[in-house]
């Protein structure tokens, strides 16, 4: 089946993948995706992610993707659990994740594998997660600025409330919301 999404793999992209919603280690406290869910992005986002990896490598940094394409069905699960438009996109409006046009990620030291201190955990829904928050350590602030520099240099837009979230500019006007069915047998949602 031909669909508008490309697989993102650790080997092909030179990054780490740990999809938070394929485990119970996320804000819902339970898996939203199948444990073997793949990582997907649309072609434009995949090319920009590859560019970000190229920019991070000479700095001794490695990206770890926490989420990428999120089927519309999964967006409803997240919204029904926490209907907070400051952190979870209303599925009636559409999330750039559900268009394959957004990625959530952290930075790791490429030599040690250690995650850089970003001041909060991924998916902490509080003002401490906002870009520019100065209630976190100077080291964490610098790491967030470093991530933002890498991502924006590669062409990504950022969401001011979540240091981990980056998306394509004007995604809602340019890309459709996609259902899990677009992946055919490679779907992400539990059967």
* Residues known to be catalytic: 162
Token couple for 126: 């509080």
Rounded Cα gap, residues 134 and 140, in angstroms: 9
Burial class (CB in 10 A: 0-12, 13-18, 19+), 112: exposed
Q: Which DSSP state fits 128?
A: G
| CB atoms inside a 10 Å sphere around CB 12 | 11
* Residues facing residue 42 across a β-bridge: 5
Token couple for 47: 């090319």
| CB atoms inside a 10 Å sphere around CB 105 | 24
Which of 119, 123, 89, 120 lies closest to 18 in space, CA to CA?
A: 123
């Amino acid at each position: 089946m031909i669909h508008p999404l490309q697989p993102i793999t650790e080997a092909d992209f030179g990054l780490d993948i740990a999809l938070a919603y394929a485990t119970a280690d996320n804000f819902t406290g339970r898996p939203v995706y199948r444990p073997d869910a793949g990582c997907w992005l649309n072609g434009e986002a995949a090319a920009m992610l590859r560019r970000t990896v190229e920019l991070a490598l000479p700095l001794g940094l490695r990206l770890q993707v926490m989420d990428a394409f999120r089927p519309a069905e999964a967006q409803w699960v997240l919204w029904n659990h926490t209907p907070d438009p400051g952190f979870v996109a209303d599925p009636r409006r559409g999330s750039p994740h559900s268009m394959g046009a957004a990625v959530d990620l952290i930075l790791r030291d490429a030599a040690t594998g250690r995650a850089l201190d970003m001041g909060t955990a991924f998916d902490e829904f509080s003002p401490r997660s906002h870009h520019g928050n100065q209630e976190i350590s100077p080291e964490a602030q610098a790491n967030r600025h470093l991530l933002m520099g890498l991502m924006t240099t590669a062409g990504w837009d950022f969401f001011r409330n979540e240091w981990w979230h980056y998306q394509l500019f004007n995604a809602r006007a340019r890309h459709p919301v996609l259902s899990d069915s677009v992946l055919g047998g490679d779907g992400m949602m539990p059967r």
